């Protein structure tokens, strides 16, 4: 596994990381703890050194899982976690007040079984707390040795600039994939100007780009995709056009849809480190093998031609979660 630098401040991570959320939250029943630990440790064995979690993933359960799995390898991995929701629950709304940030940091340190958080993200921008105040609080935590690097998630250009002026950002984490390319327009130029790395979550389109989901797929009752417009039965049917296009490319390259999607993301910028999540070791192995899929300039141009001709149907979040 090759390494990549996130930002200009010294943080180096595996080119493909592991998003750990789905092991505890968001996509149905939580994985059995022993199996989840086995998967995380398998990721490490395969070269992954970048692990992503958050306070809001089952209110700390996911952080505890990650901490337990990686305790013996702590000095060899980068642990990223997030703050920003009331009582660690996204349904309760946002809370990035300084006292809350500090409380989350202290709890995360204990759950992750570490004395320092490598990368501490604001999970979502809180309109009730100036980002300068948020950045200042994290700056203090860095000075105290409790945090190494500051990040934001799903932040816009204006907020990135304001925060960065107080405490330099090392990474921005946002959704990015073949079917959600909005960051390319304004975010990427800003990150390059300021020297900030980019960590795409859902690089496989919440599983849709793998070709394993169609209009007949039934999701578990607690699966977040049940309320996502892009995953309505009708939109899953309409969006098969994109999946079929990716499948055609995958066949030509003798690889899989997932590997094409990840190889494409890696090829976009040298400061990108995607964090696909999974609960299955075979899928983990498949995802990590994407590092060996090389896309030539001609390949990327062909893919671009295909993507630019396809319309993606449906919003990526339900209305109550969409940005105003």
Residue 319, pLDDT > 90, answer no
Structure tokens at 203: 């690089």
Give the residues across from 79 on adjacent strands. Answer: 51
Place 28 in a pLDDT band, splitting at 50, 70 and 90.
Answer: confident
Residue 322 pLDDT > 60, yes or no?
A: no
Global pTM reads: 0.95
Give the pLDDT band of residue 321 (cuts 50, 70, 90): low
The three-class DSSP label of residue 296 is coil
Q: Does the pLDDT at position 324 exceed 80?
A: no
Q: Per-residue pLDDT tens for 30-68?
A: 999 999 999 999 999 999 999 999 999 999 999 999 999
Asked whether residue 267 carries a pLDDT value surpassing 90, the answer given is yes
Q: Could you report the per-residue pLDDT of 83-129, keeping only the tens digit for each?
A: 999 998 988 999 999 999 999 999 999 999 999 999 999 999 999 99
Domain spans of the chain, in order of start = 3-204+268-290
CA 271 to each of CA 3, 8, 9, 258, 262: distance values in angstroms, whole numbers, following the listed order? 10, 10, 12, 20, 14
Instruction: Classify domain 3-204+268-290 at the CATH class level.
Output: alpha beta
In Å, what is the CA distance from 79 to each residue of 48, 64, 147, 169, 253? 11, 12, 10, 16, 33
Q: Which residues are catalytic?
A: 57
Mean pLDDT calculated for residue range 9-14: 96
Whether the CB-CB separation of 217 and 23 falls below 8 Å is answered with no
């Amino acid at each position: 596994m090759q390494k990549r630098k996130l930002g200009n401040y010294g943080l180096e991570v595996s080119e493909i990381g592991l998003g750990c959320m789905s092991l505890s939250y968001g996509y149905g029943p939580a994985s059995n703890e022993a199996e989840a630990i086995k998967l995380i440790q398998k990721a490490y064995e395969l070269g992954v050194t970048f692990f992503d979690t958050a306070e809001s993933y089952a209110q700390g359960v996911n952080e505890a899982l990650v901490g337990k799995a990686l305790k013996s390898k702590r000095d060899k991995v980068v642990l990223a976690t997030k703050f920003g929701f009331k009582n660690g629950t996204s349904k309760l709304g946002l809370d990035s007040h300084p006292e809350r940030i500090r409380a989350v940091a202290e709890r995360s340190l204990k759950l992750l079984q570490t004395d320092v958080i490598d990368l501490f993200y604001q999970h979502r921008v809180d309109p009730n707390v100036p980002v300068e105040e948020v950045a200042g609080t994290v700056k203090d935590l860095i000075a105290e040795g409790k945090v190494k690097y500051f990040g934001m998630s799903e932040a816009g250009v204006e907020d990135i600039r304001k925060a960065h002026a107080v405490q330099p950002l090392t990474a921005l984490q946002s959704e990015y994939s073949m079917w959600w390319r909005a960051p390319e327009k304004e975010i990427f130029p800003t990150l390059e100007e300021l020297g900030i790395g980019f960590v795409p979550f859902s690089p496989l389109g919440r599983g849709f780009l793998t070709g394993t989901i169609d209009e007949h797929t039934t999701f578990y009752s607690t699966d977040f995709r049940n309320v996502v417009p892009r995953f309505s039965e009708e939109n899953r049917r309409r969006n098969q056009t994109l999946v079929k296009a990716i499948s055609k490319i995958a066949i030509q390259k003798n690889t899989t849809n997932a590997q094409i999607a990840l190889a494409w993301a890696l090829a976009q910028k040298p400061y990108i480190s995607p964090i696909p999540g999974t609960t299955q070791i075979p899928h983990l192995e498949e995802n990590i093998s994407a590092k060996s899929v090389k896309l030539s300039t001609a390949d990327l141009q062909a893919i671009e031609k295909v993507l630019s001709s396809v319309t993606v149907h449906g919003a990526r979040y339900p209305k109550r979660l969409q940005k105003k």
